Amino acid sequence: MTNQLARLDRLRARFDALGIDALLIATPSNRRWISGFTGTAGTLLVSRSQALFATDARYYEQVAAQAAAFSLVPANGPMAEWAPALLAGLGGQRVGFEPGGLTYANFEEWKTVLAALPDADRPAFVPAPGAIEALRAVKEPEEVDSLTQAVLLGDAAFTHAASLAHPGMTERGLAWEVQRFAMEHGAADLSFPTIIATGPWGALPHAYPRDVPLEPDAGVVMDLGVIVDGYCSDLTRTIFLGETDARFREIYDIVLTAQEMAEERIEAGMTGEQAHQIAATVIAQAGYADYFGHGLGHGVGLDIHEAPRLGPRSSDILVDGQVVTVEPGIYLPGWGGIRIEDQCVMENGRLRRLSTAAKLN
């Protein structure tokens, strides 16, 4: 509960800057971060003096056990029956909502609820983008510990699966080995569907595994992640089945140089764009600028993609406590792709690599 109270204090400290008096929270990962609740249904209202948790009878006991800093508001039946209790005492005040956490249908429901309230009891709804995400971007030590455990399990799942990879094994079969190992060794789930891409299929950065055999004498892109204690890992390695040829070695060395140079030179105070340009410059100078079409990386936490973003046009400022990926790649249509990705934490102004899985020499 102490952790919940500290996070509530941090959120309330942002209210003036956000121009709000309370925040309505519907995004699942934000709900979990601020309350500790791991269930799948609930709407939170945090004001300057209260923290309320509206959910149905399925979760009453779970809220009491996991979200002790919050007062329960029973939410059985239509929103019109319970939402007024959530908004009680906020007449004339500004209630922020998460633009990315409400569907259009949900927003229309809230508008209907507000319209039915007496004028004196009706708050104003205003968008408050990033209200919690900005706080979540800087990880607490316990979060870094959970992320590290996820990374180590993901690394082990990769090492296990890669050791079994052979020509004739299907992409789906290799993806299953990742999942089976992860779940048998403590993962709650995968962070995202595992990407396995053999040969030319590797030119698709977000390829999906097919019932297609792994090709001999070709690269295989393996992008995978697991969830431990709610926190995600993200790892990419490109392996080669057989003896590497000159073209594979050339492109692999470019990507590896770009990745290692970025990890070495990224520092606190940089923007996400500046971080991206470190790797992008290496790839461009090697003549492959047109074949690196995505950002260098992204934050990782309760969500697989969260702030900060490392990419062209990103103004996010890098600071200590952030956990990010560094994942340059080169993708050549008709030939394949190579991507190498580590998960890192910013500490003392520099990146410290969390990923331990081997890379090709």
Instruction: Please tell me the predicted confidence (pLDDT) of residue 175.
Output: 98
Band of residue 101 on the pLDDT scale cut at 50, 70, 90: confident
Domain at 2-135: CATH code: 3.40.350.10
What are the boundaries of each domain within the chain?
2-135, 137-353
pLDDT in tens, 167-189: 999 999 999 999 999 999 999 99
In this predicted structure, the answer to whether residue 352 has a pLDDT above a threshold of 80 is yes
Instruction: Please tell me the predicted confidence (pLDDT) of residue 165.
Output: 98
Please list the alpha-helical segments (H only) found in the chain.
Answer: 2-12, 15-18, 28-35, 60-66, 79-86, 104-116, 133-136, 141-164, 171-184, 246-265, 272-285
Q: What does the alpha-carbon distance between residue 53 and residue 50 come to, in Å, rounded to a whole number? A: 10
Instruction: Please tell me the predicted confidence (pLDDT) of residue 2.
Output: 66
Kindly report the average pLDDT of the chain as a whole number. Answer: 96
In this structure, the chain runs to a length of 361
CA distances from 254 to 137, 175, 246, 286, 301 (A): 30, 27, 12, 7, 29
Domain 137-353 has CATH 3.90.230.10: yes
Q: What does the alpha-carbon distance between residue 345 and residue 90 come to, in Å, rounded to a whole number? A: 40
Q: What is the DSSP string of 195-243?
A: EEEEGGGGGSTT----S-BPPTTEEEEEEE-EEETTEE--EEEEEEESS
Contact assessment for residue 194 and residue 170, using Cβ atoms and an 8 Å cutoff: no
Instruction: Please tell me the predicted confidence (pLDDT) of residue 1.
Output: 63
Mean pLDDT of 81-109: 94
Q: What does the alpha-carbon distance between residue 339 and residue 149 come to, in Å, rounded to a whole number? A: 23
Contact assessment for residue 335 and residue 200, using Cβ atoms and an 8 Å cutoff: yes
Q: What does the alpha-carbon distance between residue 327 and residue 260 come to, in Å, rounded to a whole number? A: 10
Angle, alpha carbons 312-350-276 (nearest 5°): 10
Q: Which of 154, 178, 180, 143 is nearest to 233 (CA)?
A: 154
In this predicted structure, the answer to whether residue 361 has a pLDDT above a threshold of 80 is no
Q: State the burial class of residue 119 (Cβ atoms within 10 Å of its Cβ: 0-12, 13-18, 19+).
A: exposed
pLDDT in tens, 191-229: 999 999 999 999 999 999 999 999 999 999 999 999 999
Q: Whole-model pTM?
A: 0.95
Contact assessment for residue 147 and residue 324, using Cβ atoms and an 8 Å cutoff: no
pLDDT in tens, 19-41: 999 999 999 999 999 999 999 99
pLDDT in tens, 231-286: 999 999 999 999 999 999 999 999 999 999 999 999 999 999 999 999 999 999 99
Instruction: Please tell me the predicted confidence (pLDDT) of residue 3.
Output: 87
pLDDT in tens, 136-168: 999 999 999 999 999 999 999 999 999 999 999
Cβ atoms within 10 Å of 350's Cβ, excluding its own: 15
Instruction: Please tell me the predicted confidence (pLDDT) of residue 90.
Output: 97
Mean pLDDT of 113-131: 95
Contact assessment for residue 41 and residue 58, using Cβ atoms and an 8 Å cutoff: yes
